[in-house]
Amino acid sequence: MTSFIHPALAFFGLALLLLFLAPKVTWWRWLLPVAPVLAIISVFAAGTGDHLHVAYLGLNLSLGRVDSLSLIFANIFAIQALIGFIYAFHLQEIRHHVAAATYVGGAFGCLFAGDYLTLFIFWEVMSVASTLLIWFNTKDNPRAVGAGIRYFLIHTIGGLLMLAGILLRYQVTGDFVFTAVDPANAAYYDWLIMLGFGVNAAFVIVHAWLPDAYPEATIPGAVFMSAFTTKTAVYVLARGYPGWEFLAWMGIVMSLYGVFYATMENNARRILSYHIMSQVGYMITGIGIGTALALNGTSAHAYAHILYKGLLFMSVGAVLYAAGTAKLNELGGLAGRLPLVMLAYVVAGLSISGMPVFNGFVSKTMTIAAAFDDHRVLLGMLMEVAAVGTFLSVGLKLPYFAFWGGKPTYAKPLRPIPVNMYIAMAAAAFLCTAQGLFPDLLYRFLPYPGSEAFQPWSAWKVLLTLLLLGFTGLGFMVMRKVLTPHAQRNLDFEALYIYLGRIFLALVSRPLAWLDSIWSEVYNRIGLVGLLLLGKATSWFDRMGIDFIIDNSAVGARDTGGLMTTAQTGRLQDYLALAIALASGLALLVWYLA
């Protein structure tokens, strides 16, 4: 008897209930919090071990590998799912909740997968369900159609890279077991699998889907997506590729690239999307360093990031819901009109910036300290530089121009924000603050031993953080006019995708069009003449062959019928004479043959 009940069952069950029960009852929305509550109970009651094996086509699929690494991610996934469904409680669109539940269920399936095949199945479930969270916003945002298509195509490419690596690995090893890969003995298929993971983690060059798609998703959909896609990728990289030097430097590039673009952006949700990339970069660097402290820092930062990034998207989503726009050049002066939303955003903004008192401080400092402890001084310094950029763009620029301004205030009527959205934001803000004040609320779930001696609340760490953030704030006040947002959308690596598409058209479409024109000319000059000659030949055959046979057969049948009619006179003496003639002819034939 297993001691583990898979949390994904609760979310897949919720999706099925909503599909078949919701149209028949009015109270279906009260089912939404049930699945995450059951998941929380399941995660906290789970016993470590290898559970839930399924034999299929001669393969042994492992659906329940439970250990300290999968449990810390499952813990925060379940909590954030509850916050997310509370935030989306007002939404009347059943299909949206079905997609969200399926998406979360797929994420849990990835966390507890013990083999690559199971991981790939749930990976693709996530891809399809999250695409729907973008497309369901097409009524309010026409850009969602194209963004969803690009999102799905990029993730399909990532999935194909991953599948190719899995099948090539199976051909060599004969199994699908998902275990850590030693970088010294890595094969080409290990790189393919890692690159497939990297698409979901938003590695630089293949990252453009993130700032392209998340701002176009539904308001609650973006909250869900900010928590699960990239953090599932962080989990599988931590599981399979700790200690890879490539990841250490890729994470640094992600951290710096994300804050650079975020500083230039105007759309608040694009700013937050770039900072997902940047903050995930810290986690990837921790995985690349590979020490126990670094991996614990990655896990802690993923946990904290899911909370404060979800709160950032919830508060900006509340602004978008109320004002109808998330563009900073159109906002301003909302602090007095949306004071609770402003407070929620400030908590989240200070958390992501690593301000003491909030959870980003106790998680980010662990990853940076791990770099210095491993004598990776340059990595640690570059992460500190990225932290400065984070506070500049998310902690200062975005709230300043949205809630205060230095420009005309937003004077249009505001749409009332549902109470459930405030409840969700309050819950996330409380957890961000509580974990910052009491780090053990987070540290008790860390997966690897050896971090017990780490103390984030040392005088040096607090002083260093306050100095960095203080001078960043001073620099912002001096340069705030330079950082004033403008009504523009900065072109990122999607430009590369566009140019590659044009090259593809030039190399494939135009030569094919040239061949088609040649074929059309050949057809016009030769093909039509041939068809006309073939038509004449078939017409002659029909007239001289088929019609001749059929017509002559009809004439023969007619003449034979006429003779038979003439022979039938109705007189007995004629029939007797005919019989005698036939008998005589038969007798002569027998005599002749004998």
Q: Which residue has the higher pLDDT, 210 or 510?
A: 210
275, 200 contact by CB (below 8 A): no
Element housing 79 (H / E): helix 68-87
User: Considering the domain boundaries, does residue 13 fall inside one?
Assistant: yes
498 and 355 within one domain:
no
User: Which of these, 166, 314, 191, 306, lies nearest to 250 by C-alpha position?
Assistant: 191
What pLDDT is attached to residue 569? 62
Q: What are phi and psi of 327, to 5 degrees?
A: -85, 125
What pLDDT is attached to residue 549? 67
Q: What is the number of structural domains in the chain?
A: 3
CB count within 10 Å of CB 298 equals: 32
What pLDDT is attached to residue 559? 64
Q: How far apart are CA 246 and CA 265, in angstroms?
A: 28
Tens digits of per-residue pLDDT, 131-186? 999 999 998 899 999 999 999 999 999 999 999 999 999 999 999 999 999 999 99
Single residue among 470, 485, 500 that ends a domain in this structure: 485
473 and 364 within one domain:
yes
What pLDDT is attached to residue 568? 62
User: Considering the domain boundaries, does residue 366 fall inside one?
Assistant: yes
pLDDT tier, 572 (very low <50, low <70, confident <90, very high otherwise): low
473 and 348 within one domain:
yes
**Token pair recorded at residue 82:** 């509850």
**Token pair recorded at residue 259:** 């804050």
Percent of the chain beyond pLDDT 90?
A: 70
3-state class (DSSP) for residue 146: helix
CA angle 142, 144, 145 (to 5 degrees): 85
What pLDDT is attached to residue 551? 60
Q: CA 243 → CA 30, 111, 235, 289, distances in Å? A: 45, 20, 14, 5
228 and 127 within one domain:
yes
What pLDDT is attached to residue 332? 87
Boundaries of domain holding 153: 1-241
517 and 425 within one domain:
no
Q: How far apart are CA 183 and CA 62, in angstroms?
A: 25
pLDDT tier, 39 (very low <50, low <70, confident <90, very high otherwise): very high
What interhelical angle do 359-373 and 292-323 show, nearest 10?
A: 150
User: Considering the domain boundaries, does residue 87 fall inside one?
Assistant: yes
What pLDDT is attached to residue 487? 79
pLDDT tier, 36 (very low <50, low <70, confident <90, very high otherwise): very high
Q: Which residue has the higher pLDDT, 515 or 265?
A: 265
User: Which of these, 297, 305, 300, lies nearest to 277 by C-alpha position?
Assistant: 305
DSSP 508: I
State the pTM of this model: 0.84
The amino acid present at 131, given as its one-letter code, is: T
Q: How far apart are CA 237 and CA 243, in angstroms?
A: 10
The amino acid present at 556, given as its one-letter code, is: G
Q: How far apart are CA 102 and CA 123, in angstroms?
A: 11
285 and 191 within one domain:
no
User: Considering the domain boundaries, does residue 556 fall inside one?
Assistant: no
What pLDDT is attached to residue 137? 94
User: Considering the domain boundaries, does residue 93 fall inside one?
Assistant: yes
Q: How far apart are CA 213 and CA 150, in angstroms?
A: 8
433 and 514 within one domain:
no
User: Considering the domain boundaries, does residue 69 fall inside one?
Assistant: yes
Mean pLDDT of 249-267: 94
Q: How far apart are CA 349 and CA 213, in angstroms?
A: 22
What pLDDT is attached to residue 92? 92
pLDDT tier, 583 (very low <50, low <70, confident <90, very high otherwise): confident
